[in-house]
Chains A and B, each alone.
Chain A
Amino acid sequence: MKRIACYAAVTAVSLFPCLPTFAQDYSGRTLVVGTWGGDIERLLREHVAGPLEAKTGAKVEFLLGGSGDRLSKMVAERNNPTMDVTFQNIYEAPSALKEGLVIAPDAALVPAAADVWAGMNDGCYAMSLVGLGIAYSKAVFPEAPEWSDLWNPELKGKMAYAPYPSSEGDGMLAVAARIAGADETNPDAAFAKLAELGAPMLTYNSLDEVLTLMDAGEIAAAPMISGYVISNLENYEGIGFVFPKDPGPVLVRDMVCQVANSPEPELAQMFIDLALGVETQTAYANELNFGPTNSKVVLSDEQAAKVINTPEEVKSLLQLDWTYVIAQRSDWTDRWNKEILGQ
């Protein structure tokens, strides 16, 4: 045993010059990472923060909350940021780059970024792929519905939505616009079509709240993001989830960003590199049903069926012009309040 340890030590020392910046000693330094709590934090601690702390001697501190809070924090701390890495929604990432709050994705800084599917890094690095599909009550829909099936007049007022503004709401507006023969750049068509579904029966604050009512058939369907929903389906026999075909599901991405002018840029890049690496991305897919963005991840057939993980699948997804959408946020929130909720 001692001999093995000795060989290992000698090997490590002889390889020292070849090691990347990881081998530097960052003892006493702290990397601050803003992300969502729950399973995401757990996975990041296990697969990213733990290995990074072990390799560098630095400490990783997580700041938990919603992505809107983190965007506010970046704006407020523009001249003196305290966060080094932040996880944002796709609709926030391009505008964060435009505002100079984050550093543009660069494979020279984060090698794993080169393995991310082409076109996915937008504003920040693409962390995971999920699609906006339909969670539906099997009592209401014996067969998995298409988007257009939701416009059955008998179902008016039986939908549930996430609070707006959100990627679910924007995605649903884009779908409604397409059903009306337009796209999201025609908000009049989008809102008029979505208003036909009536005011939602529920604006849900938690998944359990909406899934319990859907399981009982009180709620017909809800536009929902895959991942969490798929993980929850085993608890509810009366609920199905489908990625519709016409149009395809709306592509929603979680992004991981390096904050501009942050105190620990090197540690931030190492953290992001580990987050985009095969091991973390595989865990995300297997444990959370979040599709990997790293093209080198190999999943079992059973798991691959549950997540978006191939370029073909990505191509079939509806991609929105998020820079345009986020610029409409204030107007669309007023319109959502009045034309959708206030019917």
Chain B
Amino acid sequence: MNQTPDITPTTTALLVAPAAVLMFGVFVLPFLFLVVLSFWSQVPGSLSLDTSFTLTNYVRIFSDSYYLGGLWTTLWLSGFVTLICLLLALPLARWIVLHAGRAKGLLIGISILPLICGALLPTLGLVNLLSPLGFINGALKSMGLIQTSLPLLGNITGVSIGLVQAFLPLMVLPLINTVERIPHDYEKAAMSLGASPFVVWRRVLLPLMLPGIVAGSLLVFCAALTAFVTPQILGQGKVVTFASLAYQQAAMVLDWPFASALGIVMLLFLALAGLVGALISRRLARAS
């Protein structure tokens, strides 16, 4: 696009300034304060803060097996949820693009519903579905398939179901975008050369879908890593995630410095995930 000659760098700076000032005030400054706070400490037995520099909070996180366990659970749970979302979203996105026809808009709308209606209501709905007295256990019992309720709440199973339900749209949308740009002829050409459907997926479609897979995976992984409401409600206190630990320390124990350190550690992992995603995207761009 040609730049119009009357837009000078000064004009650009002025146009950007309101948003930049807003971002600096409501995002950058509080974030910097969070970083500083994480190096302070709580005066024992008091609500006051000791503002002398200390690494105590970070030492506590990385030397205590409980917090390391919470970090590990959060990381592998996020990875697992990303994988399940990917497996579900790949065929779904392709089907929507190729076969939905006029219903495509409607199906995309339905796909993004979990993003629109927030985390709380669907999660509470899932409690009713998954509880020992809920719909799923009730249906299985009435069919005579089980005698006692399956434990679907208060464990990784329940939390994973909740997170997949919540974040599937973040995987579906980038994939739809990618699948739409793959010419249908490629697939037909591969088939005409004798490739089986599995080979077509593995050798033709998946490589072409990679940019969407990377974008979707990054979005789902980061969302799952920072999710709070779903693990808190469906985990019933038995699934320890970093977000629920940070909430407990910030809102209930009122140890803000330690809660800040937990938040910073989580943000570092988000940054790391973003970095890995960016590197893969760059490599893919070069390869293509």
Contact = CB atoms under 8 A, between A and B. Distances in A.
Interface string A176-202: 000000000000000000000001111
Given A205-B232, A218-B132, A330 B238 contact: no
B237 A329 contact: no
B240 interface: yes
B253 interface: yes
Given A99-B46, A327-B45, A163 B66 contact: no
A66 B251 contact: yes
Interface residues of A, number: 37
Given A66-B251, A330-B255, A333-B253, A209 B127 contact: yes
A43 to B, nearest CB: 25
Contacts of A341: 237-238, 240
B71 to A, nearest CB: 14
A68 interface: yes
Nearest to B65: A338
A165 interface: yes
B154 interface: yes
Interface stretch (A27-35, A45-53, A69-77): A69-77
Interface string B91-132: 000000000000000000000000000000000000100011
Contact of A327 (B44, B48, B248, B249): B44
Contacts of A201: 154
A226 interface: no
B84 interface: no
Interface in B192-229: none
Interface in A300-323: none
Nearest to A101: B47
Interface in A230-269: none
B178 to A, nearest CB: 38
A163 B252 contact: yes
B132 A69 contact: no
A22 to B, nearest CB: 34
Interface of B: 42, 44-48, 64, 66, 127, 131-133, 149, 154, 232-233, 236-238, 240, 248-256, 258
